[in-house]
Amino acid sequence: MRRDVTMLPARGWIVIAFKTNNPGAWLMHCHIAWHVSHGLSVDFLERAVDFRNSISTVDRNAFNDNCNAWRAYAPTSPFPKADSGLKMRQLADLKLLS
């Protein structure tokens, strides 16, 4: 076992407690990449208003440019992936970058 890692026993459960004092979107995940595509991850959004207010216009524009570039590239990718396992959301639903 490594730092910041816990083992989940078969058919078991884990209680995790942490301070929610660090604005941002934080990923908790399994360290086996393909497990994430099967849903073994969760995002925590801490202090959403503070997080939204901390995003600069330059970063917001860069994020949107990157998303638009991905949307243009993905349909033509030579390595298609039909499902990341992550639920698709609209940015307007997140109310972070609007």
- What is the DSSP annotation of 29-43? E-SSHHHHTTT-EEE
Report residue 1's pLDDT band, with 50, 70 and 90 as the boundaries.
very low
Partner residues linked to 44 by β-bridges: 26
Residue from 43, 33, 32, 34 nearest 7 by CA: 32
How many whole angstroms separate alpha carbon 41 and alpha carbon 12? 16
pTM (predicted TM-score): 0.52
What beta strand segments (E) does the chain contain?
Answer: 24-29, 41-46
Instruction: Tell me the per-residue pLDDT of 65-87, one tens digit each, with 9 for 90 and over.
Output: 999 998 898 888 887 766 555 55
Mean pLDDT of the chain: 79
Question: How high is the pLDDT of residue 93?
Answer: 55
